[in-house]
Amino acid sequence: MRFMGISPASMAAIVLKDLREFSRDRLWMILSPLSLLFILALFQILPEEGVGTVRIGIHPGFLAAVFNGISADSASFQLQGFPSEDSLRRSFENGTHDLAVGISLSDGFPGVLLRDTTVTARIFMSGSLPPLMHKAMEGGIGELGFAAREMVRGRDPLQSLPVTFPDQDSLLAHLTRPGASSSMKQGMKPLIFTIILLIESLALAGLVSTEIKSRTAEAILVTPATTADLLAAKCFTGVLLALGQAVLMVFFTGGFGPHWISVLLLLFLGAAMSSAAGMIAGAGGRDFMGTLFFGMLLIIPLMIPAVSSLIPGRPALLIRLLPSYGLVQGLNVVMVEGAQQAAMSSIISLVLWITALMVTAIILLRRRVESL
């Protein structure tokens, strides 16, 4: 009995044969558990806590209470008031404080703003901060001065700008969204799981290449099994190998969370992408080195979005066009930020790319098998 031209019995027999061959490969049977243990050990030593609170000293002291009250929901920074500029300066000179930045405004602030006079701001910075932070703080103080002037005059600073900003609640909600100050351990999860999925494609590529080179595929086609059965079995084997290791790693690292269905779906799609990449590399490689070359040629570009996820800011257009970007973005949204609904666009993009890659892999592998 065949379903869509594929015999489940023949496909299952080929899958069992592939798994037995994989179990006899000492290289992968040793490297796979060791690599998983190494990644798990590395994951366990990553910092648990997220970005800590940055303390900023400010004079006049009443501004600390004002700004701390506005940003009560944010744990990113905390202002400490000082009664005078001298006390703020001494706190930096003594070297016993935990302040990152100190800001001292003109005496009489904010009254001087009503007279349209210049407000002098002196900045004190910790020696651990990079020199470029000085320029950044100068620009930030200028913008804060503009905002303070508008507030003293009874106007909304955001409405005085030539561009439109969201309201304060929406802005703070965005800045303090889940995952905005996540720990390194949380932020590394998409990278680790993507690497595990992609590396497993090398095992499938080696299996396919060996089977073609030893003409095992030709012997299989002598049996009632068809080319469609063989290709379906390779797809299933690749998904099974990649998904099994990824699920184990997610389980041991506690990455499922409340949105475990979305995580499983993304891991399954990532395993399908890995399977397609392995089939393409296996069809193109003539020997071990050739298969490894084609495999790395595919894996390295696919890992770029995972690495770029650790860098703040939006990735470049070329990175967003890579097939694995949807996988990384989806894992990041679901695992780190906890926004399940926002991952739908990433899933759709990933499905489209997997379809294209799988069709390409099947065409290449079919040609290679039929040419035996």
pLDDT digits (tens, 9 = 90+) for 235-281: 898 898 888 888 888 888 776 777 788 888 999 999 999 999 988 88
Give pLDDT, residue 355: 92
Of residues 81 and 109, more confidence is placed in 81
| CA pair distance 153, 363, nearest whole angstrom | 70
pTM of the model: 0.65
Are 169 and 12 in contact by the 8 Å Cβ rule? The answer is no
Residue 356: pLDDT band by 50, 70, 90 thresholds? very high
Beta bridge partners of 54: 77
* C-alpha closest to that of 230 among 239, 218, 241, 242: 218
Residue 197 has pLDDT above 70, yes or no: yes
User: What ranges do the domains of the chain cover?
Assistant: 8-47+182-370, 54-175
pLDDT score at 111: 54
271's CB contacts (< 8 A; 6+ apart) are: 197, 200, 238, 239, 240, 242, 243, 246
Residue 370 pLDDT: 74
Distance from the Cα of residue 77 to its chain's centroid: 25
pLDDT category at 80 given cuts 50, 70, 90 is confident
The stretch 220-243 carries a mean pLDDT of 86
Q: Is the pLDDT confidence value at 48 over 80?
A: no
Give the pLDDT band of residue 74 (cuts 50, 70, 90). Answer: very low
Q: In what order do the strands lie in the sheet with 77-81?
A: 77-81, 54-59, 101-105, 121-125
Kindly compute the dihedral angle of the four CA atoms of residues 225, 228, 232, 238, in this order, to the nearest 10 degrees: 90
Tens of pLDDT, residue by residue over 17-35, are: 888 887 777 777 787 788 7
Question: What pLDDT band is residue 198 in, cutting at 50, 70 and 90?
Answer: confident
Paired sense of beta strands 121-125 and 101-105, if any: antiparallel
- The pLDDT confidence band at residue 283, using thresholds 50, 70 and 90, is confident
Q: Lowest-pLDDT range, 76-80, 323-327, 332-336? A: 76-80
pLDDT at 320 exceeding the cut of 50: yes
